[in-house]
Amino acid sequence: MEHKGVTVWLTGLSGAGKSTITVALGEKLRAEGCKVEVLDGDEIRENLSKGLGFSKADRDTNIRRIGFVSQLLTRNGVIVLVPAISPYREIRAEVRGRIGDFVEVFVNAPLSVCEDRDVKGLYKRARAGEIKQFTGIDDPYEHPLNPEVECRTDLETIEAGVDKIMGKLEELGYLPSKVTA
């Protein structure tokens, strides 16, 4: 399928559903014949950003690195899916400005829901003081002010969220109309 390159940046708290939506969205896009790459925030930290901590400066460096790779892929016609907490508005805006073809998706769920979903026990450890600078507990999360899409994962299904994102990609001209028709 012919489509334009775009970075779909999924931001939200840990446990909000970014990775779950990304997997489902990636499957749907690939089934339609789209070229898709996923730049998972956790995987990037282990590989491209190994050694960075969780200070604001290190988080910003990590997001800039993800943004750089996203920009390269986007300009080569790939749909790039980026599930990354990316807690700071300013750095998300910077990356948006560099990439240009950028769709911000706010994967939104209340902190209490994210904590209930926490299979790794990270929130529990953060609340116990074992993990410092944990987003949403002792480090801020600045929610997007004007995301192109908001997925309320506590109120809607993953499929509904995927459909909203697909619809927005079509509306913005990144996908041909027949994909979501």
- Contact call for residues 58 and 135 (beta carbons, < 8 A): no
| Residue 150 within a domain | yes
Residues of the chain with pLDDT under 70: 1, 178-181
Predicted local confidence at residue 179, as pLDDT: 45
Q: What is the pTM of this model?
A: 0.92
Any catalytic annotation for residue 112?
Answer: no
| Residue 60 within a domain | yes
Predicted local confidence at residue 51, as pLDDT: 77
| Residue 180 within a domain | no
Helix, strand, coil content of the chain in percent (nearest 5): 45, 15, 40
CA triple 40-77-42, angle to 5 deg: 5
Instruction: Output the domain CATH number for residue 102.
Output: 3.40.50.300
> Residue 40, Cα to own-chain centre: how many angstroms?
8
Maximal CA-CA distance, the chain: 51
Predicted local confidence at residue 181, as pLDDT: 43
- Tell me which of 14, 19, 49, 86 is the catalytic residue: 86
Q: Could you tell me which residues come within 8 angstroms of residue 49 by beta carbon, excluding any fewer than 6 positions away?
A: 61, 62, 65
Cα dihedral 95, 171, 33, 65, rounded to 10, equals 0
Q: Which domain holds residue 33?
A: 6-174
Predicted local confidence at residue 1, as pLDDT: 63
Number of domains in the chain: 1
- Contact call for residues 136 and 13 (beta carbons, < 8 A): yes
| Residue 87 within a domain | yes
Predicted local confidence at residue 180, as pLDDT: 45
